[in-house]
């Protein structure tokens, strides 16, 4: 159900926060000067396992968090008769305005305005309209993120998905004539058909690949658009099919939980680390290509095809033995990162099996096995992929000193961000205190913590047609 994890009470509070900002930043004169149109939200994500495999057509296991990008959209009447129509945006961070009066423009930079320009250009081109379309007359948007920037929870994907939702709903006028949703005080729009959401996720990815110049995969945008509450997604990145898997066989009724501990190093794939990130990908792609040319000589080959059909490719599951044949053909980076890729795809399949309610395991056995998978994943990113940092490695060491921690790993593209760990819920405060004490002694900064006791649903749109947002929900 769209917006299932975003309660009316939370929406009341969000609108009460954003409406005064909207009025001030767009110089709204009075109630008659603004027509409220809609609100949209898209979440960030955690990825439980399957790192750096989405762009290699493997599997990932993401889940949506409860925080993300919130956008309030209104039509300001005193802007409606401009000689040159504009779309106006204001971001609460970094407290900047941005107006756009034409499509296309600057690319390959990290500014938030690049995301806006990319989203507007891509979606309006898809809809076959321009900025002077009557539906966009006087439209202004306040963009507000509640995700920690640089924590590796895909604030950028949430931003892109939310922007496209907002632009699409305004132009198609899907916010008009919507009844109050059952059991709610707001009109939550029905979800788009699944294939349309898949296309929306692809479009949000294009913002980053075509406009920001980062060669990312599809997972982050996919989960932001298509997540289901209280479940993680087992996403096949080759054909973009997925299943959702209940977390209760693993977590029970709150006995175990996920937690993220921030390394306090900003994860930023839009700055100098973009080159390193792109090199990680190219090393894996080159390793895959060399194996295909050397052993399979013209037969279609990829790591993903081999893991899916091991007998067809003569693969017995022993990754080190398999890769040894090709080591002389590869650079050290290609060999190590290619080895990681195969291992991580196998780990993701095992994670899926362990979490399947039909797999005959006790909860404690599931927890232990998941912990082993997490720890092995971190070792691979540290020793083979080489995308961790000393801060991340130290946190991962510290958490495993506690008997009630099953395991943990670096989450996200690397070079900063968080460690995600699975632990007994009753140990959360003790584990965090232990990490903070030792981490601060070494790095002179205290860690931020994010507790993920519940995972959320994907992006949604709420109609505000006819509402006085100052009295929203009343």
Which pLDDT belongs to residue 269? Answer: 57
Query: Within this chain, do residues 284 and 347 fall inside the same structural domain, yes or no?
Result: yes
DSSP per-residue codes, 195-238: HHHHHHHHHHHHIIIIIS-----SHHHHHHHH--TTEEEEEETT
CB within 8 A of 156, min separation 6: which ones?
Answer: 115, 208, 212, 220, 269, 270
Residue 283 has pLDDT above 70, yes or no: yes
* Over residues 314-320, mean pLDDT: 97
Query: Within this chain, do residues 17 and 55 fall inside the same structural domain, yes or no?
Result: yes
CA geometry: angle 433, 434, 437, nearest 5 deg: 80
Residue 398 has pLDDT above 80, yes or no: yes
Identify whether 2 is part of a domain: no
Identify whether 367 is part of a domain: yes
Question: Full-prediction pTM beyond 0.85?
Answer: yes
Number of domains present in the structure of the chain: 2
Query: Within this chain, do residues 160 and 308 fall inside the same structural domain, yes or no?
Result: no
Q: How confident is the model at residue 305 (pLDDT cuts 50, 70, 90)?
A: very high
Query: Within this chain, do residues 290 and 437 fall inside the same structural domain, yes or no?
Result: yes
Which pLDDT belongs to residue 213? Answer: 84
Q: Would you give the DSSP letter of residue 56?
A: G
HSE-up of residue 199 (Cα within 13 Å, Cβ side): 10
In whole numbers, what is the pLDDT of the chain averaged over residues?
94
* CATH, residue 262: 3.30.70.890
Query: Within this chain, do residues 48 and 23 fall inside the same structural domain, yes or no?
Result: yes
Phi/psi at 27 (5° precision) = 55, 50
Residue 197 has pLDDT above 90, yes or no: yes
Query: Within this chain, do residues 274 and 227 fall inside the same structural domain, yes or no?
Result: no
* Over residues 304-329, mean pLDDT: 97
Which pLDDT belongs to residue 272? Answer: 62
Share of the chain above pLDDT 90, in %: 84
Identify whether 238 is part of a domain: no
Query: Within this chain, do residues 262 and 409 fall inside the same structural domain, yes or no?
Result: yes
Cα–Cα distance, 415 to 466 (Å, whole number): 46
Identify whether 1 is part of a domain: no
The greatest distance separating any two alpha carbons of the chain, rounded to the nearest whole angstrom, comes to: 73
Phi/psi at 443 (5° precision) = -110, 0
Distance, first Cα to last Cα, the chain? 23
Cα–Cα distance, 416 to 152 (Å, whole number): 7
Identify whether 288 is part of a domain: yes
* CATH, residue 192: 3.30.230.10
Length of the chain (residues):
474
Token duo for residue 110: 């990290």
Phi/psi at 369 (5° precision) = -65, -40
What interhelical angle do 194-206 and 112-127 show, nearest 10? 130
Which pLDDT belongs to residue 357? Answer: 94
pLDDT tens, 169-193?
999 999 999 999 999 999 999 999 9
Q: How confident is the model at residue 108 (pLDDT cuts 50, 70, 90)?
A: confident
Query: Within this chain, do residues 368 and 257 fall inside the same structural domain, yes or no?
Result: yes
Query: Within this chain, do residues 226 and 326 fall inside the same structural domain, yes or no?
Result: no
Residue 162 has pLDDT above 70, yes or no: yes
Identify whether 48 is part of a domain: yes
Cα–Cα distance, 308 to 315 (Å, whole number): 10
Which pLDDT belongs to residue 152? Answer: 76
Identify whether 410 is part of a domain: yes
Exposure string over 145-169, b if 16+ CB within 10 A, otherwise e: bbbbebbbbbbbbbbbbbbbbbbbb
Per the listing, tokens 């971190």 go with 378
Q: How confident is the model at residue 474 (pLDDT cuts 50, 70, 90)?
A: very low
pLDDT tens, 39-80?
999 999 999 999 999 899 999 999 999 999 999 999 999 999
DSSP per-residue codes, 185-206: SSEEPPPPPHHHHHHHHHHHHH
Residue 317 has pLDDT above 90, yes or no: yes
Cα–Cα distance, 349 to 254 (Å, whole number): 25
pLDDT tens, 218-275?
899 999 999 998 899 999 999 989 999 999 999 998 899 999 999 998 766 556 677 7
Cα–Cα distance, 452 to 101 (Å, whole number): 40
Query: Within this chain, do residues 37 and 116 fall inside the same structural domain, yes or no?
Result: yes
Identify whether 179 is part of a domain: yes
How crowded is residue 292: how many other Cβ atoms within 10 Å of its Cβ?
Answer: 18
- Is 207 exposed, middle or buried (CB count within 10 Å of its CB: 0-12, 13-18, 19+)? buried
Q: How far is residue 457 CA from its own chain's centroid?
A: 12
Range of the domain at 430: 248-452
Residue 473 has pLDDT above 80, yes or no: no
Q: Would you give the DSSP letter of residue 456?
A: B
Query: Within this chain, do residues 104 and 221 fall inside the same structural domain, yes or no?
Result: yes
pLDDT tens, 339-371?
999 999 999 999 999 999 999 999 999 999 999
Query: Within this chain, do residues 288 and 395 fall inside the same structural domain, yes or no?
Result: yes
Q: What's the 3-state SS for 70-88? A: EEEEEEEHHHCCCCCCCEE
Q: Which whole-number Å values give the CA distances from 406 to 61, 400, 420, 422, 423, in the listed order? A: 18, 8, 11, 6, 6
Cα–Cα distance, 77 to 389 (Å, whole number): 51
Which pLDDT belongs to residue 160? Answer: 97
């Amino acid at each position: 159900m769209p917006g299932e994890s975003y309660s009316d009470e939370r929406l009341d509070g969000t609108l009460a926060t954003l409406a005064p900002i909207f009025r001030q930043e767009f110089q709204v004169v009075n109630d008659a000067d603004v027509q409220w149109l809609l609100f949209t939200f898209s979440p960030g994500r955690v990825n439980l396992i399957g790192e750096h495999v989405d762009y290699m057509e493997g599997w990932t296991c993401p889940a949506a968090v409860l925080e993300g990008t919130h956008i309030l959209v209104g039509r300001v009447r005193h802007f409606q008769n401009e000689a040159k129509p504009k779309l106006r945006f204001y971001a609460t961070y970094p407290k900047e305005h941005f107006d756009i009066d034409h499509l296309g423009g600057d690319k390959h930079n990290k500014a938030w305005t690049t995301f806006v320009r990319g989203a507007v250009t891509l979606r309006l081109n898809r809809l076959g309209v321009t900025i002077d379309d009557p539906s966009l007359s006087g439209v202004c948007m306040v963009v507000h993120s509640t995700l920690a920037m640089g924590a590796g929870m895909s604030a950028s994907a949430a931003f892109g998905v939310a922007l496209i939702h907002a632009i699409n709903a305004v132009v198609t006028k899907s916010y008009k004539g919507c009844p109050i949703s059952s059991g709610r005080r707001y009109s939550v729009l029905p979800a788009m058909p699944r294939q349309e959401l898949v296309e929306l996720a692809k479009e949000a990815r294009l913002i980053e690949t075509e406009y920001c110049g980062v060669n990312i995969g599809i997972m982050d945008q996919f989960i932001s658009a298509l997540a289901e509450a209280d479940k993680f997604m087992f996403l096949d990145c080759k054909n973009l099919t997925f299943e959702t898997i209940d977390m209760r066989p693993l977590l029970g009724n709150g006995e175990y939980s996920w937690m993220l501990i921030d390394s306090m190093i900003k994860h930023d794939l839009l700055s100098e680390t973009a080159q390193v990130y792109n090199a990680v990908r190219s090393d894996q792609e080159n390793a895959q290509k060399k194996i295909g040319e050397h052993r399979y000589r013209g037969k279609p080959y990829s790591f993903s095809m081999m893991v899916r059909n091991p007998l067809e490719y003569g693969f017995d599951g022993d990754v080190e033995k398999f890769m040894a044949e090709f080591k002389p053909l590869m650079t050290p980076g290609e060999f190590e990162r290619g080895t990681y890729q195969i291992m991580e795809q196998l780990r993701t399949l095992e994670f899926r099996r362990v979490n399947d309610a039909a797999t005959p395991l006790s909860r404690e056995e599931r927890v232990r096995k998941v912990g082993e998978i997490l720890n092995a994943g971190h070792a691979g990113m540290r020793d083979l992929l080489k995308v961790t940092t000393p801060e991340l490695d130290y946190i991962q060491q510290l958490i495993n000193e506690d008997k009630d921690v099953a395991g943990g790993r670096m989450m996200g593209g690397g070079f900063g961000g968080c460690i995600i760990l699975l632990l007994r819920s009753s140990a959360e405060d003790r584990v965090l205190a232990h990490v903070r004490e030792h981490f601060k002694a070494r790095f002179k900064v205290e860690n931020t913590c994010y507790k993920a006791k519940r995972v959320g649903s994907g992006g949604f749109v709420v109609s505000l047609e006819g509402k006085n947002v100052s009295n929203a929900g009343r």
